[in-house]
């Protein structure tokens, strides 16, 4: 990808020096590492927004669902039975 923009960043001299020293130890230019950090940050934020949107849609769908709910106690009994069955299988294996 062509590099067409300059990004100026103000930071402490000690941080800049430490970063460039670590980059040099990795045999990579600091600018390349910063680009990688920026790409990872942008990707992470997009994924977070997509997940948040998906989650909100799922909650809305669930809230609009007209089917009767399952009582908490029943769900917990079923989960406990499943966990106990897995535990028994592991112990007998």
Mean pLDDT for 63-75 is: 93
Residue 3 pLDDT more than 90? no
How far is residue 46 from each of residues 67, 69, 80, 84, measured CA to CA in Å? 33, 33, 37, 40
Q: What is the pTM of this model?
A: 0.65
pLDDT, the chain, mean = 95
Question: What does the pLDDT look like over 40-64, one tens digit per residue?
Answer: 999 999 999 999 999 999 999 999 9
> Rg of the chain over CA atoms, in angstroms?
26
Over residues 30-43, the pLDDT tens digits come to 999 999 999 999 99
Q: What local confidence, expressed as pLDDT, does residue 2 receive?
A: 78
Q: In angstroms, rounded to a whole number, what is the distance separating the alpha carbons of residues 15 and 61? A: 48
| Integer Cα distance of 19 and 15 in angstroms | 6
What is the spatial distance between Cα 86 and Cα 77, in angstroms, rounded to a whole number? 14
Domains of the chain, by residue range, sit at 13-92
Taking the C-alpha atoms of residue 6 and residue 10, their distance in angstroms, rounded to an integer, is 13
CA distances from 44 to 7, 37, 88 (A): 20, 10, 40
């Amino acid at each position: 990808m062509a590099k067409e923009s300059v990004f100026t960043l103000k930071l402490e001299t000690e941080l800049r020096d430490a970063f460039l020293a670590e980059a040099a130890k990795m045999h990579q230019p600091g600018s390349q590492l910063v680009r990688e950090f920026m790409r990872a940050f942008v990707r992470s934020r997009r994924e977070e927004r997509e997940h948040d949107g998906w989650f909100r849609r799922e909650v809305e769908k669930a809230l609009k669902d007209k089917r009767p709910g399952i009582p908490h106690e029943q769900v917990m009994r079923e989960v406990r039975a499943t966990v106990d069955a897995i535990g028994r299988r592991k112990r007998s294996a």
